[in-house]
Structure 1
């Protein structure tokens, strides 16, 4: 018997089945099988690989019957149901397999776990991977084995079969209630029927939410069925003698859900009235003894529901809508008044003289001291201590500032004062539109990477990347630049094309990259000590970039499998995502042994680069910076064609990569385990890449910027750029360790 059966079921809704199968069959772990209970046209399942059983079901088969058929054919000890429209994120099947393999088959004294409940994300036609609402309930439950009475709030977890795995013997023992019933009912009924439940905080499902307008309208009976399911669940609880805690939670969920349907579902008036009447009957019939309604408007709605007062509920709803509209109008007027006062003060400050000793710095939308602005500010303190730096930092970033850092919070009174009076304004993104460019003020745009992807006006032809961009406003911000810092001729040309204006390019190198030539062996040993990398171990930094066609980062590698293949002598520094967090993650054990280190929130990233023996990335600009270290780089480009098509690129990375290119996880693993990652071909590719993209980075970029911009020195008096072949980068970790 296999440990896990993955059952993909249902018809090919809107052509999503092939995508679903790709997400599943591309990661089948040992000890797992896949059953495809395909309804109707079997074409999308024709070419699925081994360890996959395809059941071709008649076109009239319902989702419930397809699910039941798949469950009957499954041989695994645990069942994981995935609807044909959904996807399974990378690494999720290994996560589930590893967790269920830990659970004993025998019940024991305390009973056995019948349901493993996990997290999920959501995707629509225009978003991808948006976190669901269940993280808090799953975190509260944790990895313990619990009865529903011990954690009744698990009934609030989104009722999907795809965010839980069910023990096969449990499924078959309760086949009538779980197999051929609505998914929402079956998902909650499984919790009621289970002996014990355990929770995972990892994401195992990407639920695709289809456009309501693309689906057949619900019939009146389908609307009424929502109330009927709650009736059936309450009867099931009563029959099983479920304690008061879960019954109260389910009652609260029922009342909230029914009121939401009445308020938001577009039902004809007679249908809405009948739905309200049935919900009222259920609210009275199942109200727990001693139950207290919520306070405020929600309590009023609950009382009207229990009284079956549909007309009064609609009147109350109408009054609430008018009250919210009025409150919104009042808030809007207050904002207008506040904005006028702020504008008057700002205009007054703009009439005051510019302060020649005041410099405003910001990085990454006011996140804190970082990147090129941070390196320039540090050099400014050394070469021009008479110029006073003030950082713009959001409230969340203030506690992270070094003690004594002079700073302002965006929108505050002092913020507008320093923005009006500063001689120098330095940023790696743009300042807000509302910031006025004074004739005698100097704006320095440092940027924050070498462009592979299209930027600025070059995004016009790529609507996925440019969604929400106002190009006229963008150009008005660009027109405020006096200087644009670049690290290579490629960037200079691309910025001039993407941001056409009158600024002066400063081909001085990126100040943030100075550290790659100034760091010592002691610095590198100290960083590795802080990260917990044992001496003698190889560290590989994995740093992927954002996809514009995804709402959030989607794991593209099974990092647990990669870490296992690389072995104990390799540490993965993962600048990744929440998917790999949590105590029960497949990476948890590897983290405990020091084989995986989560550096997703570690700053500065330059220290991570110094600590790493090699870099694995996709299309992130970190490759251009890391190349300064002259250490191996491997490109993992599993979706290059999609990325290039949706974002647009300035050159073909596949033909001009800084090292070997892997198009699949198998290829990447082979490169990293065979020694190819640092072979002669890799070195030649990196050398060509460095000559092109590390052109001006030699360790003195910040000095050149400070001397030219803040001290007014001429270009001819600045330190000349050292040719690439004559530079000496920081020592490698191996050299720093004296090996």
Structure 2
């Protein structure tokens, strides 16, 4: 009995079928069977399948006597499958390298769940890879995540109802008698029963499938689901969708234990019908468009449910489609509203809600009239933009002034990382410590909508500049951030501002860059100093940082030289978590994973690329994996080909701490990440070939050449040599790292966040781990 059965139906995909089958058979995890189903394809698909079967005994060829569609073809594969778990691919899909290894590890970690959800990405006809816009919903957080039940994470129904992003336990499919229906648009009729009847579900935050997108599917991320989050909305047989949802509701009616899910499925159906009409309406004949709306109205009336959300078995409320959360079961997850359009991360707008209502009403003439009205209203808003923005700003100012008249709430704390970035860094570690050590204090995280999913479920997320944002700034006792808060903030008596900073400073900051025009704009230093006047506490990881903060930001704050909270995780994570993180990224167990993370260059307008990652990896050979992370200020990945074998672009990964734990060595230049990484006691290589330009533009507090945390290189040849020779982890590098660690990581013991919270919230003193060792004078 193999571990995995991979089922591939094939119909008119001869140009891509070779790549699909090879991607399965060339997996590093060999315990599989490949059931390739020729759906009586008129091209060479059947011959290709037979060729592969002749060369590899793991291929089981199946030839159907007549073309039946993807659903019956998959059923034919299911009938012959023998594996513990079943994977479903289309003939033009492909598995990413190491996917089955990652699946096997995750299944073992989560104790063999009924269902494992994993990520996918799109490969356009140009070769460009486009990430799934909902990939972050699978983030599993920082620690091991057990499997969960559907009612624990109702937001999983917010994901596109597709069949090829899941591994199915075969005995679960047999127990529930799950089969694919005939006809088009059959994915929802399979996916919703699967999700709702599974007793255990687990996520895997890793791209395991590449979906090919043809020329007519568009070229952007939004084109992945034209008009909505449903597959097949750009053509096909739209009228088939009605029979498919009849099947879904019939199954819910046959299962009283699933009846509570009817409201969610109903709203998803309305969204699907709206998406189909928007995507296919222009391709339908005139009479068919009106007929589709009439059928949609009758369908909605037949299956409509009472307004309101679901009810939990214990009486609590389960969110309905308007506020369904994400799939992620980890502590770093909570989601935005259920996406109903391509604007998935922002939630469905008023225009989409109006179109959804009109589809339910079923009047094409009304639909067209109100669509025109919505378009005219949008144009009017654009024309009156300055006036509207001015009125909105005035309303926010009035709201903030009103909130400042109300008492400061001692049980409120607000946190932010760089004004709206994902949950993490020092503020994220402190927010978690606040919840653990002072549970009476309710926490809020300031984040932009696209990062809302990274915020823990028990923490409120607010958008910068919103009314809730100004309420939090006006009423919270504790304000914690690693960058300046809004310049319009007026600190009130009783409020405590904690400036965590973003790491140990190597490059010059504050007053020390006032004579560096490439670094600061006019008046920026003065703004920084005004912000510093609001600080009550500043965090420091070592004596070097303390001296820099005191001189570069002359203000009346108290420095807490307790260590950096964001490094606490390094000293609490064990081998099991490290192995899980490596598996989730697709890093082979015995490979050397190098994290390449250069910092921002103030003197350049374009990204600084001193190394070619693809060429470096080719020279290093198959024993190495290169994780490339571009600085967030650049807003683009470091490499053009993402997730090639051995080359993983992790620029969009929400947690740099997770990347540090998953890697074996750090390759960087002037990034403060080197100080954190040294605390892990893992090799660090400094590649700084532009030292003169960097010193002239920004300047550093000490010369890395005379006091480095490891080996120093000046060219690509030296970088390759230092890794191939093993010098990066040799005795000289270890001695340098030990001296660097002694000076800059004296308090790294996993309890920095606890010491800060005990001092700031409870007034405890004398909590440092001991006197620091020597000092590097800045």
Give me the TM-score of the superposition, normalised by structure 1: 0.51
Match of 1:482 in 2: none
1:391 aligns with 2:525: no
Match of 2:289 in 1: 272
Give me the whole-angstrom Cα distance separating, in 2, the residues matched to 1:548 and 1:554. Answer: 11
1:65 aligns with 2:78: no
TM-superposed CA distance for 1:549, in Å, is 11
Whether the aligned pair in 1 keeps the contact of 2:669 and 2:686 (CA below 8 Å) is: no
1:165 aligned residue (143, 164, 167): 167
Whether the aligned pair in 2 keeps the contact of 1:451 and 1:621 (CA below 8 Å) is: no
1:201 aligns with 2:194: no
1:732 aligns with 2:739: no
1:450 aligned residue (610, 618, 622): 610
Alpha carbons of structure 1 residues 305 and 453: separation in structure 2 relative to 1, 3 Å: closer
1:234 aligns with 2:234: no
Deviates most, 192-201 or 286-295: 286-295
Match of 1:153 in 2: 155
Secondary structure of the equivalent of 1:122?
strand
Give me the whole-angstrom Cα distance separating, in 2, the residues matched to 1:333 and 1:13. Answer: 54
1:178 aligns with 2:180: yes
2:380 aligned residue (317, 323, 326): 326
1:308 aligned residue (362, 371, 386): 362
Alpha carbons of structure 1 residues 303 and 578: separation in structure 2 relative to 1, 3 Å: closer
Secondary structure of the equivalent of 1:80?
strand
Q: How does 1:503-542 map to 2 (within 5 A)?
A: 542=626
1:430 aligns with 2:605: yes
Alpha carbons of structure 1 residues 597 and 154: separation in structure 2 relative to 1, 3 Å: farther
Give me the whole-angstrom Cα distance separating, in 2, the residues matched to 1:601 and 1:279. Answer: 59
Whether the aligned pair in 2 keeps the contact of 1:171 and 1:178 (CA below 8 Å) is: no
Whether the aligned pair in 1 keeps the contact of 2:28 and 2:97 (CA below 8 Å) is: no
Give me the whole-angstrom Cα distance separating, in 2, the residues matched to 1:678 and 1:597. Answer: 11
Whether the aligned pair in 2 keeps the contact of 1:119 and 1:138 (CA below 8 Å) is: no
Whether the aligned pair in 2 keeps the contact of 1:541 and 1:612 (CA below 8 Å) is: no
Give me the whole-angstrom Cα distance separating, in 1, the residues matched to 2:119 and 2:79. Answer: 26
Give me the whole-angstrom Cα distance separating, in 2, the residues matched to 1:280 and 1:601. Answer: 62
TM-superposed CA distance for 1:165, in Å, is 1.2
For structure 1, the residue ranges without an aligned partner over 5 or more in a row are: 106-112, 337-366, 407-425, 432-446, 455-538, 559-573, 635-650, 662-671, 684-728
Alpha carbons of structure 1 residues 550 and 73: separation in structure 2 relative to 1, 3 Å: farther
Secondary structure of the equivalent of 2:94?
coil
Give me the whole-angstrom Cα distance separating, in 2, the residues matched to 1:615 and 1:736. Answer: 10
The alignment's C-alpha RMSD in Å is: 6.0
Give me the TM-score of the superposition, normalised by structure 2: 0.49
Alpha carbons of structure 1 residues 61 and 540: separation in structure 2 relative to 1, 3 Å: closer
Whether the aligned pair in 2 keeps the contact of 1:29 and 1:94 (CA below 8 Å) is: yes
Whether the aligned pair in 2 keeps the contact of 1:377 and 1:389 (CA below 8 Å) is: no
Secondary structure of the equivalent of 1:732?
helix
Match of 2:276 in 1: 261
Match of 2:61 in 1: 55
Whether the aligned pair in 2 keeps the contact of 1:540 and 1:612 (CA below 8 Å) is: no
Whether the aligned pair in 1 keeps the contact of 2:506 and 2:672 (CA below 8 Å) is: no
1:249 aligns with 2:264: yes
Match of 2:643 in 1: 554
Match of 1:225 in 2: 240
Alpha carbons of structure 1 residues 52 and 614: separation in structure 2 relative to 1, 3 Å: farther
Match of 2:306 in 1: 289
Whether the aligned pair in 1 keeps the contact of 2:637 and 2:651 (CA below 8 Å) is: no
TM-superposed CA distance for 1:316, in Å, is 0.7
Per-residue CA deviations over 1:587-621 (Å, capped at 9, x if unaligned) read 99x95xx886999999435558987647799xx99
TM-superposed CA distance for 1:556, in Å, is 3.0
Whether the aligned pair in 2 keeps the contact of 1:31 and 1:97 (CA below 8 Å) is: no
Q: How does 1:80-91 map to 2 (within 5 A)?
A: 80-91=87-98
TM-superposed CA distance for 1:576, in Å, is 3.7
Give me the whole-angstrom Cα distance separating, in 2, the residues matched to 1:582 and 1:390. Answer: 25
For structure 2, the residue ranges without an aligned partner over 5 or more in a row are: 219-225, 227-231, 310-320, 323-348, 391-481, 485-500, 533-537, 540-547, 554-600, 615-622, 631-635, 695-703, 740-778
TM-superposed CA distance for 1:280, in Å, is 0.9
TM-superposed CA distance for 1:164, in Å, is 1.0
Match of 2:672 in 1: 604
Secondary structure of the equivalent of 2:150?
coil
